Amino acid sequence: MHRNTIGGYFRELEERGFIRMTKGAPLGSEGYGKAAQWVLCEMPTIDGVKADHAFRTWKEREKPVK
């Protein structure tokens, strides 16, 4: 797996409700990137926020008919 392919997988997992970003990935003061923070939507967070199980309500979008 190439390092550039992981972004698509994260987008798909987020779209389907399996993960949610809690903190973005900004550049630090020295210009180095900081990692984004994510939570699994099936488990409570470390600070006690309940899981929302968003993946249970996900529906695949219908493809337009040509």
Evaluate whether 25 touches 33 at the Cβ level (below 8 Å).
Answer: yes
Q: Between 2 and 15, where is the model more confident?
A: 15
pLDDT at site 40: 94
pTM, two decimal places: 0.72
pLDDT at site 14: 94
Burial 32-53 (b: 16+ CB within 10 A, else e): eeeeeeebebeeeeeeeeeeee
pLDDT digits (tens, 9 = 90+) for 6-24: 889 999 999 999 999 999 8
pLDDT digits (tens, 9 = 90+) for 18-64: 999 999 888 878 888 888 899 999 999 888 889 999 999 988 888 88
- Looking at residue 26, its amino acid is P
